Amino acid sequence: PTHKLLLLPGDGIGPEVSAEVEKVLDRLAADGSARFEVERGLVGGCAIDAHGVPVSDADVARAAAADAVLLGAVGGPKWDGVPYEIRPEAGLLRLRKDLGLFANLRPAICHAALADASSLKRELVEGLDILIVRELTGGVYFGEPKEIVDLGNGQKRGIDTQVYDTYEIERIARVAFELARLRTGRVTSSEKRNVMKSGVLWHQTVTALHARDYSDVELKHELADALGMKLVQAPKRFDVIVTDNLFGDMLSDVAAMLTGSLGMLPSASLGEADPVSGRRRALYEPVHGSAPDIAGRGVANPLAMIGSLAMALRYSLDMAAEADRLERAISSALDAGHRTADLARPGETAISTSQMGDAVVAALSAS
Ligand code: NAI
Ligand code: MG
């Protein structure tokens, strides 16, 4: 089959790391494992420069039609002065909104070769492989009322409201259970049902859905504060973690620090499954930003971007074996001692973005 990909390199180091993903795609295509039709578009500052908006309607339409969107990073000091509505990040936000991307997937994987860069001891994190599934479009970041009220006595009141409806909880839990089936089959659902009504509904809804449709998957519940503690104490006991927007924001940043480097972290955002094709709209991107401090020097670590492609292969293109192969190639490049500047420790020689891409391609070829 031919897979339609939309590549949106963006700004700063985005184009540099995207070029390495194109090398990997060429290698996979040359192996005959799949055909890729790669379109390119603009998002962020480069789109502002070209069209006056941070993403064009045409590129949003192409994103909606693609099997997967791969995005580099957006933003940079050049666009600090542009009006708020058309700032570079607004392009990314529009894509997330228009594609209905409600599920944010953040894996935290700790490669043995990098375990010493983790904030925790090697034995706690070596071989770590967890996946945080964060609800992205609901909860306290969006609930109404949301305002600052003047109480008239010199006091003001800041109000945010946590709102979750059953369908929002069900659809994110469904994503978590389905992903768990592709992994080791364990889900931990997290909320604070001891103090929050939305947490009670979350717990009930996930429990009922599990009994109805996913009883083959192991389900556990953890209160979000206790989960934060256990993630730092014994992270390897977890597989898939599903949680709301706020707790997911915090817990995924905690999990990121278990792995070592920002340049290593991929992510995915998924939408609803199409009732006919079963296909989900999806956008894959590294967690890091456009890194203006190192942009243009060819030294950025491309592994978060290449890892994002591996997620696209697994979750959008039905190419799990190729995803495994690509993830193994990333590991073997690291095992062989290849380090970009962000990973190199004193005394270790750093290689360029392009050399790291070549090392992954070479490891793929050898596999
Ligand atoms: P950043 O992630 O761009 O950089 C933080 C630090 O990590 C910098 O020192 C950078 O050099 C380093 N770093 C990041 N990715 C790296 C990689 N692949 N290899 C080696 N080192 C890497 O975050 P920062 O500096 O806060 O933001 C810079 C710009 O990026 C801003 O305009 C911000 O708005 C934007 N941004 C965009 C995001 C996106 O496109 N999703 C996410 C976060 C920030
Ligand atoms: Mg965050």
ipTM over 0.95: yes
Element (H, E) at 169: helix 166-181
- Residue 361 DSSP class: H
What are the tens digits of pLDDT across the range 16-75?
999 999 999 999 999 887 899 999 999 999 999 999 999 999 999 999 999 999 999 999
Which of 195, 226, 259 delimits the end of a domain? 259
* 38 annotated ligand binder: no
Active site residues: 141, 192, 225, 249, 253
74 shares a domain with 7: yes
Rounded to 5 degrees, what angle do the CA atoms 255, 260, 261 make? Answer: 105
Number of domains in the chain: 2
Query: Do residues 203 and 162 share a domain?
Result: yes
Domain that holds residue 126: 119-259
Q: Do the domain assignments include residue 22?
A: yes
DSSP state of 193: T
**Does 266 fall in a domain?**
no
Taking CA atoms, 318 is separated from 4, 142, 315, in Å, by 13, 33, 6
User: Does one domain contain both 216 and 136?
Assistant: yes
Pocket of ligand 1 from Cβ distances under 6 Å: 13, 73-76, 89, 92, 262-263, 285, 288-294, 300-301, 304, 342
- Check whether 297 is labelled as a binding-site residue: yes
* CB proximity list for 175: less than 8 A, separation 6 or greater: 103, 105, 133, 242, 270
Residue 93: helix, strand or coil by DSSP? Answer: helix
Of 76-85, 101-110, 112-121, 193-202, least confident by mean pLDDT is 112-121
Residue that terminates a domain, selected from 259, 294, 319: 259
Q: pTM for the full model?
A: 0.92
123 and 254 housed in the same domain: yes
Q: How far apart are CA 167 and CA 21, in angstroms?
A: 36
Alpha carbon distance 88, 80 (integer Å): 9
Whether residues 68 and 195 share a domain: the answer is no
**Which pLDDT value is given to residue 92?**
92
- Residue-level length of the chain: 367
**Residue at which a domain ends, from 207, 225, 259:** 259
